[in-house]
């Protein structure tokens, strides 16, 4: 997309972190903003912040686990701004736990419903009209480096992010095959300074009630990851990379240069038939 001014961007998970940074950067490009998030107070604050920055913005409190909520978000976008041009399926949480733990199924389902099904629903709801109106469009699906590696004790998150990568690769090939007006990117950051380590703040009570106590191994991995998140890069760096990818029609958005070696090493392990190692997951 060479020209973003006057176009409309939809961002889920847009009240904080990477999503809010995306909204600021797309707004600075002259785009009109449609922001959805499950946290009502944070969303209100984000809309005030974006409006004060001089951007045109509307919002909806949504839960991306519910396809009807995404349909409502699309209706709000069309009613206020007309055609949608950029779709950022960005809402996500961290969670899951060990694969062999029989007691964390509700957490797994909650995580996968948001991190993978939320992206699927976003594509299913918004893409038909984006293709039909024929103007230049772009979809950005937020995955993670966890879509290329598989750290222990993060099974549901890893499964979701691998799924988002696969979905995005499938989608971009379909859009090429059908010669549509839609470009596709998949965002695969490593550690970014966001609130993802506190995702449980948005966990429904019925899910939270089922969360088992963490094992010592789980506590160790979670503490390690939380420290890396705290030392991560700014969401603004990620958001600028997203804007650049939309403009340049770049599929892979790898925001951490040092992660590329890990992707190469994993591919080499596969073709050489070597078993995955713990070192390969944690770096």
- Residue 273, sorted as left (phi over 0), alpha (psi -120 to 50) or beta, turns out to be left
Catalytic residue among 55, 157, 162, 191: 157
In the three-class reduction of DSSP (H, G, I as helix; E, B as strand; rest coil), residue 104 is classed as coil
> Tokens representing 241?
């990379």
| Residue 162 falls in the annotated catalytic set | no
Give yes or no for a contact between 16 and 42, defined as CB atoms under 8 angstroms apart. yes
CA atoms within 13 A on the CB side of 247: 14
Q: Which of 223, 140, 222 minimizes the C-alpha distance to 188?
A: 140
In the three-class reduction of DSSP (H, G, I as helix; E, B as strand; rest coil), residue 95 is classed as coil
Give yes or no for a contact between 124 and 67, defined as CB atoms under 8 angstroms apart. yes
Distance from the first to the final alpha carbon of the chain: 35
Cα distance between residue 81 and residue 262, in whole Å: 42
* Positive or negative: CA dihedral 195, 191, 168, 82: positive
Give catalytic residue positions. Answer: 157
């Amino acid at each position: 997309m060479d020209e973003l001014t006057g176009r409309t961007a939809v961002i889920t998970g847009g009240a904080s972190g990477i999503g809010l940074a995306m909204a600021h950067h797309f707004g600075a490009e002259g785009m009109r903003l449609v922001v959805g998030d499950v946290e009502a107070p944070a969303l209100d604050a984000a809309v005030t912040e974006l409006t004060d920055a001089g951007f045109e913005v509307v919002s909806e409190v949504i839960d991306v686990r519910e396809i009807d909520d995404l349909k409502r978000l699309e209706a709000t976008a069309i009613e206020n701004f007309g055609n949608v041009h950029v779709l950022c399926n960005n809402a996500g949480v961290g969670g899951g736990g060990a694969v062999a733990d029989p007691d964390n199924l509700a957490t797994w389902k909650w995580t996968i419903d948001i991190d993978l099904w939320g992206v699927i629903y976003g594509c299913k709801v918004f893409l038909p009209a984006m293709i039909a109106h024929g103007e230049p469009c772009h979809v950005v699906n937020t995955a993670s480096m966890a879509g290329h590696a598989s750290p222990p004790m993060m099974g549901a998150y890893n499964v979701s992010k691998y799924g988002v990568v696969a979905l995005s690769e499938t989608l971009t090939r379909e859009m090429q095959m059908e010669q549509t007006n839609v470009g596709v990117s998949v965002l695969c950051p490593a550690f970014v300074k966001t609130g993802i380590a506190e995702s449980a703040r948005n966990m429904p009570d019925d899910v939270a009630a089922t969360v088992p106590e963490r094992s010592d191994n789980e506590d160790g991995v979670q503490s390690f990851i939380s420290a890396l998140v705290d030392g991560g890069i700014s969401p603004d760096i990620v958001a600028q990379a997203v804007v650049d990818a939309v403009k340049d029609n770049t599929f892979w958005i790898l925001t951490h240069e040092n992660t590329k070696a890990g992707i190469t090493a994993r591919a080499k392990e596969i073709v050489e038939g070597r078993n995955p190692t713990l070192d390969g997951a944690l770096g």
